[in-house]
Structure 1
Amino acid sequence: MSSVSKSLMGVVCLVTGASRGIGKGIALQLGEAGATVYITGRKATKTDENQKSPLEETAMEVEKRGGTCFPVVCDHKDDFQVDALFEKIKKEQNGRLDVLVNCAFSAFKYINDNMGKPFWELDPSESWDEVNRVALRNYYRCSSLAARLMVPRKTGLIVNISSAGGMFYFHNVPYGVGKEGCDRMAADCSVELKPHNVAFVSIWPCPVMTESVKETLDSTEQSFLRDKILEITTQDRYESQEFTGMGIARLASDPKAISVTGKVLLSIDLAKKYGYKDRNGKMPLDYRSISDLMSAKHPYVAKVIPGFVRVPKWMFAMPGNKF
């Protein structure tokens, strides 16, 4: 079974940026585990007046999985809309919020359109805000508002969806700084939240085949992103949109979740810890696995390296060490 059977009944969750991509997959998995899930999207755009918007479609799928879902149109660039979102949850759920997943991200197209341009050739305010206003800045605001609901109840889980881009240069400067900030936010916030039994972690998904990635493959003939995506997808080792959600659903139901607070968790490590595979019955690319790392350029060598041989976490973190 892809999720923990109804282990989150009565649990109130918020997933930002859940109309598509990883956010949608997380919402579906939380719903499948029986949770009440609030989801946000920038707009309720409909391709046809007789059709549901992507946000509404996600809500319907969550409920088909067995959860209760409340779709909320929210532009996470707008502080007033974000504040209103948390007030809505507070009012409707009697001050209860158990899980926050910060997943909203709106810079995929901007990054691809400006790939290869050095930071000084881009408008500094525009490049920073396009990449980090909905991500890093909004993650912090949402986490602060969520903590106000969790701390009095002495329970809660906050998750930042981040990436290995915070460990070494990737895409552009604002992206790397933002991802490093997401990871450090989890580490520092956890110091103040742990005495109140509220856990805060940062999760790095494996390479994911989202709608945005598919659109890039379909519409871009030559780009850095396309080359990197194809390097992975030709191996058929990308994770589904729901794989990270499987881990979050299990972590949210784990009474010992506080033991990993402040840490960066890899989605593949969550799968190994809780003993599950992706929806297709396979394991995605493990970028701590020596065999997987070598499989693209040295497939014959990779075949003779046991799968359990993995890069230690302390060594995996060394590229990010500036001393």
Structure 2
Amino acid sequence: MAAGGPLSGCVCVVTGASQGLGKGIALQLAAAGATVYVTGRRAEALARAAAEVSSRGGRCVAVVCDSSQDEQVAALLERVRQEQGGRLDVLVSCAFSGVEAIVAQQGRPFWESPATLWDDINNVGLRGHYLSLRHAARLMVSAGHGLLVVVSSPGGLGYMFNVPYGVGKAACDRLVADCAHELHAYGVACVALWPGMVRTEKVLKEQHGTGPMAEKIQVMMGMSETPEASGKCVVALAADPHIMAHSGKVLLTPDLARHYGFQDVDGKPIFNYMAVRNVLTMLKPQLSRFFRLIPECLTVPKWVIALYASKFRAYSALEPAPLPKKQD
């Protein structure tokens, strides 16, 4: 798409865009006509990604930036302010560096994993998201509009991979909700995006490996989406004049695809990992031929998801209170 697309004239920043999901999002933003600043920690990989993003029709600016370093994030947004006259329409905080650590520590309980696993997952991750939102919000609040997107995961709903991962993703969703609360009066939207399983370069590489992680990926490959599916979601949200209705919410890629009426870039529908038949298939793959009889439009209600994730213990009025322990 040429520069006359739905986001023509818009200024966007995508962190962690040298590969994977971040690059996929940047590609779609550029195709929609936006000027896209992309960040990453490795200059060569970032330059290759920026060249690919530029080929889609928008303008791309590569900025080497470590999202865990406050001064580098601050410098990035100051550069955008100076070069774009204070304009920033979209920030997508996607930087994440914990994949290798997750694979290396797969199957180890938290008490046997190194304490550094927490930082490996949540420094360029949760902390980086907070830093990016903090600096980007200053530009958007001054302008009275903007969209902040944090790439999160269903791992915030229940156990996935390890303790630091799930805690970090749950915190990402809460970060979005609380930021949206403070930003609402200024017309700035803040959302969390939950992709499904994404066919990133690292996932495709791990698919050909061995071990429990590779086996899971191989089973789920048919249920995956491309990195650009999330990019289509961000473009649709950024172009939506009623975006504030989504602010503070967790948004799922298959839900957004149905709502805005688009498919993945490979021409296939984005896999609905919340469809009842797909959830059952993931839980009991050996019975998949029976689950196919369930219409895919039948999805797990969001209130069921909320109840599943509830941290509160429900006590019955008829349930006797536990007796106090006898003191020695």
One of 168, 171, 180 as aligned partner of 1:190: 180
Is the counterpart of residue 73 in structure 1 residue 74 in structure 2? no
Query: Does structure 1 residue 281 correspond to structure 2 residue 267?
Result: yes
Aligned equivalents of 1:293 and 1:122: distance in 2?
30
Could you list the runs of 5+ residues in structure 2 that have no partner in the other structure? 313-328
Matched with 2:235 is 249
| 2:317 alignment counterpart | none
Quote how far apart the aligned CAs of 1:10 are.
0.8
Contact conserved, 1:5 with 1:32, CA < 8 A, in 2?
no
Report what 2:97 is aligned to.
Answer: 106
Equivalent in the alignment of 1:294: 280
Aligned residue number for residue 214 of structure 2? 226
Is 2:63 aligned against 1:63?
Answer: no
Equivalence map 1:252-271=2 (5 Å)? 252-271=238-257
- Contact in 2 for aligned 1:4/1:249 (Cα 8 Å): no
**Deviation of the 1:272 alpha carbon:** 0.3
Following TM superposition, the consecutive aligned residue runs of length 4 or more in structure 1 with deviations greater than 4 angstroms are none
Give the drift of 1:138: 0.8
The answer to whether the 8 Å contact 1:237/1:283 transfers is no
In structure 1, the residue matched to 2:296 is: 307
Larger radius of gyration: 2
**Which of 141, 150, 163 is the matching residue for 1:151?**
141
CA RMSD of aligned residues (A): 1.6
Paired AA for residue 59 in structure 1: A
Secondary structure of 2:207's aligned partner: helix
The percent identity for this pair of structures is: 47
Q: What is the aligned partner in structure 2 of residue 132 from structure 1? A: 122
Structure number with greater CO (CA < 8 Å, separation at least 6) is: 1
Amino acid at match of 2:154: A
Q: Distance in 1 between matches of 2:4 and 2:249?
A: 26
The amino acid across from 1:41 in the alignment is: G
TM-score normalized with structure 2 length:
0.91
| 1:90 to partner: Cα distance | 1.1
Quote the offset at 1:176 in angstroms. Answer: 0.5
Match of 2:166 among 176, 187, 193: 176
Change in 2 beyond 3 A, CA 1:157/1:245: same
Q: Distance in 2 between matches of 1:4 and 1:82?
A: 27
Q: State the distance in 1 between where 2:151 and 2:42 align.
A: 21
Counterpart in the other structure of 1:24: 23
Q: How many corresponding residue pairs?
A: 309
Q: Could you tell me the TM-score, scaled by structure 1's length?
A: 0.92
TM superposition shift of 1:285: 2.4
Residue 223 of structure 2: SS of its match in structure 1? Answer: coil
Is contact 1:4–1:250 with CA below 8 Å preserved after alignment? no
State how far apart, in whole Å, the 1-side matches of 2:123 and 2:159 are: 20
Does 2:127 match 1:141? no
1:147-171, CA deviations, whole angstroms, 9 ceiling, x for partnerless residues? 0000011000000000000010111
Q: In structure 2, how many angstroms separate the alpha carbons of the residues matched to 1:88 and 1:297?
A: 54
2:14 and 2:25 in contact (8 A); partners too = yes
Cα distance, 1:4 vs structure 2: 11
1:215-266, Cα deviation, whole Å (9 max, x unpaired): 2123x3113x212211211xx2310110011010010010100101000000
| CA displacement at 1:54 relative to structure 2 | 2.5
Structure 1 counterpart of 2:174, which letter? R
2:201 paired with 1:211: yes
Local SS of the residue matching 2:39:
strand
Cα distance change, pair 312–319 in 1 and its aligned pair in 2 (3 A): same
**Distance in structure 1 (CA, Å) of the matches to 2:154 and 2:280:** 18
- Code of the residue aligned with 1:301 in structure 2: it is F
Match of 1:226, as an amino acid?
Answer: A
Structure 1 segment 35-46 matched on structure 2, within 5 A: 35-44=34-43
Match of 1:163 in 2: 153
